[in-house]
Amino acid sequence: MRYHFHWDRFIRYVILVTAFGLMGSSAARGQSFTLEDVLSAPFPTHLVAARRANRIAWVFNERGVRNIWTAAAPDFAPVRLTDYRQDDGQELSDLQLTPDGSILVYVRGGNPNRAGEIPNPTSDPRGAEQAIWAIRTSGGAPWKLAEGHHPVIAPSGDRLVFIRRGQIYQLPLVPPETNAEGKLEPLFRARGRNGSPRWSPDGRRVAFVSDRGDHSFIGVYDLREQRIRWMEPSVDRDMLPAWSPDGRRLAFMRMPGRRKHERRSLVTGYPFAIWVVDVETGRGSEIWHSPGRDGGFAQYYPGEPLRWASDDRLLFYSEHEGWLHIYAISASGGSPIDLTPGESIAEQSSLSVNGTVLYYSSNRGDIDRRHIWKVPTGGGSPVRLTAGTGIETYPVVLADGEHVAFLAATATRPPAVSLIATAGGRPRLIAPQRLPEAFPEKQLVAPQPVTFRAADGWEIHGQLFLPRGAKPGDRRPAVIFMHGGPIRQMLLGWHYMGYYANAYAMNQYLVSKGMIVLSVNYRSGIGYGRAFRQAPHQGPRGASEYQDIVAAGLYLRHRPEVDPDRIGLWGGSYGGYLTALGLARDSDLFAAGVDLHGVHDWAFRATDFSPGGGWGLEKRDLDLAYQSSPVADLASWSSPVLLIHGDDDRNVLFGQTVDLVQRLRERNVHVEVLVFPDEVHGFLRYESWLRAYRRAAEFFERFLGARRE
């Protein structure tokens, strides 16, 4: 097969690289480091706290080796509990501590794909499993409880419920020598797929969601009476059950049931109502509903979208006033109180044990960062708890009510588990207390906030990474990075999600090679309000956000440090889609691209992946969806591309890349591929990330002229 290659560009790049000494100065050369170096820091996730003991636990992912750590009062010295030693891609998740903090329960292994297969990215011939494990926080070996996921420990701490193949099971939380997994039977049997179990405060009942396809019910199973009572069953989709502190009532969210052939979009959002019911009778009423056709609940990432703060007060997330905020409302109804006001979003949150104070992460007053705030649940003025210009997320209140654990990062230091007094003060670093010796903290750069306008007037935020020593006239190569989602936001520092923390590290690495990087928060992302996230004609309905990428390219083209002929694109998932779209529509502007598991044909995704591909597309939308796709503009695609994909991708079908590669080969476009057998969407192995980023950096070196290590 003969590929079309831009010899004129290649010769020009060689001349430029030679003339400028492979990006110039000895200072620039002095800041080089390896990908292994910048990806060497352990990354914390799944931070949790015990309810009646001052103990926290979390997962560290250290170069693909995942282990669980814990720390407790009074000294909060970090201790590793598990001893996994391989980069095997087996996730650790669903961490829960017993109320007294003596036992930690967790899940090892990822969720099954549509064929029921557990992720097995090492292609282990023995296969893989998803199982629930337990370990004492005082030390010792973990023991397997059962195959399954989503364990929920009872208030007594001596048993748990969990999910296995769409049914709810109960299991005593006992030492390994008395484990009786072989005798397991479902807690009860009911039609549909049953999940989201929630213990009543007295441990006598379990509330759950029974998904029946086009509708779902909230059920309550009474363990003593061994019966199920349905809570105000309807034709709608009821979800997110939450017990009142006294255990007499249950609150839940209700969204309209799915009409025949209806396809809804997570991007535009859903109308919803809040119901409160009496558990003994199963009867209740709606206490509030979101105004407007699109409703207020659209961003699915908050851990607890609905919770009780006291016997008479509920807290819930909503976007109905234009920003994702947390509201308080009386359990008997009335007007909700906005606890987190202002042009900002509230993300992860935690409630004090007595329910009187809410702690949350927000970009209030600092639109491109996150900080920890607190506010009384009865209403009042929020107070910022963490100071400075860092990135603080995932607050978790400790049992004493006097401390909050959270993840803290900066522009040059990845997230670390930290602790701060609820009264304020200076945070205390818990773990890692030292970064690996190879980690290049002092060699990293702090990204600068920039804004620019798209052709239709939208203001777009970005983070500009400039190499040290960059100056006008350098004519350096530049790369635009685009996040996935699209319900995401890149920040002026290390990201709190592992996928984007890796991307941030990669951007720092490209900068160390002498390149300029611009990370773009295009419309349809979070952080800038509902109007920005719901911008018209986005994605398969017109690709309006692509204007933001063109604007970013033109912004770079006019930067005095940038060579206008050497601007590339890279991104994963939705960022992969925008990379491919840029190369297809504007190869004259974008000289090369690296596309990780991107969508290339919206019509293909809508018909072969899921109903509407998550965008609510119907048959009448498919022509526009196709025209909004990279495959619709292949005639103008001439720039080289590297496509990277795992073939067990559960988010974007591997067939999207299979199809695009064949089309590009037919047109003699230079296309390279890197395929990971049995890898999923967000690569589970450190080795996969390392190989992908090495290949991407080498690709940009060849086609944009960046310096080699």
Q: What is the pLDDT of residues 505-562, one digit of tens each?
A: 999 999 999 999 999 999 999 999 999 999 999 999 999 999 999 999 999 999 999 9
User: Does position 282 have pLDDT exceeding 70, yes or no?
Assistant: yes
- pLDDT at 257 (0 to 100): 76
Picking from 665, 190, 476, the residue whose alpha carbon sits closest to that of residue 464 is 476
Do 465 and 508 meet the contact criterion of CB atoms below 8 Å apart? yes
Distances in Å between the Cα of 6 and the Cα atoms of 114, 268, 343 are 42, 41, 47
In the chain, where are the structural domains located?
7-30+443-704, 36-179
User: Does position 1 have pLDDT exceeding 50, yes or no?
Assistant: no
C-alpha span between 350 and 513 (Å, rounded): 41
Band (492; pLDDT cuts 50, 70, 90)? very high
User: Does position 428 have pLDDT exceeding 90, yes or no?
Assistant: yes
The CATH number of domain 36-179, selected from 2.60.40.1930, 3.40.47.10, 3.40.50.300, 2.130.10.10: 2.130.10.10
pLDDT, average across residues 186-198: 95
- What's phi and psi for 58, nearest 5 deg? -160, 170
- Residue written as tokens 């002498």? 514
- pLDDT at 292 (0 to 100): 79
Peptide bond before 336: cis, by omega within 30 degrees of 0? no
Residue 517 identity: V
126: which residues sit within 8 A by CB, 6+ positions away? none
Do 513 and 470 meet the contact criterion of CB atoms below 8 Å apart? no
- pLDDT at 615 (0 to 100): 73
Picking from 706, 707, 656, the residue whose alpha carbon sits closest to that of residue 681 is 656
C-alpha span between 375 and 61 (Å, rounded): 32
- pLDDT at 594 (0 to 100): 98
Span 85-95, pLDDT tens digits: 999 999 999 99
Q: Residue 660 burial by CB count (10 A; 0-12/13-18/19+): exposed, middle or buried?
A: buried
User: Does position 29 have pLDDT exceeding 50, yes or no?
Assistant: no
- What's phi and psi for 439, nearest 5 deg? -65, 130
User: Does position 8 have pLDDT exceeding 50, yes or no?
Assistant: no
- pLDDT at 178 (0 to 100): 64
Locate 204 and state its tokens.
Answer: 């006598």
User: Does position 179 have pLDDT exceeding 70, yes or no?
Assistant: no
Q: What is the DSSP letter of 186?
A: B
Look up the CATH superfamily of 7-30+443-704: Alpha/Beta hydrolase fold, catalytic domain (3.40.50.1820)
Residue 623 identity: D
Band (182; pLDDT cuts 50, 70, 90)? low
CA angle 307, 311, 312 (to 5 degrees): 90
Span 653-671, pLDDT tens digits: 999 999 999 999 999 999 9
Rg (CA), the chain: 26
Span 357-390, pLDDT tens digits: 999 999 999 999 999 999 999 999 999 999 999 9
pLDDT, average across residues 203-232: 96
C-alpha span between 321 and 316 (Å, rounded): 13
- pLDDT at 26 (0 to 100): 32
C-alpha span between 523 and 532 (Å, rounded): 5
DSSP assignment of 48-82, as one string?
EE-SSSSEEEEEEEETTEEEEEEEETTT---EE--
Computed over every residue of the chain, the mean pLDDT equals 91
pLDDT, average across residues 697-707: 87
Strands (DSSP E) contained in 531-604 are 562-572, 592-596
Share of residues in the chain with pLDDT > 70 (%): 91
Count of other CB atoms within 10 angstroms of residue 136: 15
Span 104-145, pLDDT tens digits: 999 999 999 888 899 999 999 999 999 999 999 999 999 999
User: Does position 20 have pLDDT exceeding 90, yes or no?
Assistant: no
pLDDT, average across residues 451-472: 96
DSSP H helical segments within 586-706, as ranges?
602-608, 622-627, 655-666, 686-704
- Say whether pTM exceeds 0.85: yes
- pLDDT at 264 (0 to 100): 55
- pLDDT at 270 (0 to 100): 78
Domains 7-30+443-704 and 36-179 share a fold: no
CA 205 to chain centre: 32
- pLDDT at 301 (0 to 100): 65
pLDDT, average across residues 136-156: 96
Strands (DSSP E) contained in 130-215 are 131-136, 143-147, 149-153, 159-164, 167-172, 193-199, 205-211
Locate 434 and state its tokens.
Answer: 């030292």
C-alpha span between 633 and 171 (Å, rounded): 56
pLDDT, average across residues 290-316: 82
C-alpha span between 415 and 170 (Å, rounded): 36
pLDDT, average across residues 632-639: 97
Write down how long the chain is: 709
- pLDDT at 31 (0 to 100): 52
Span 496-507, pLDDT tens digits: 999 999 999 999
Peptide bond before 486: cis, by omega within 30 degrees of 0? yes
- pLDDT at 708 (0 to 100): 33
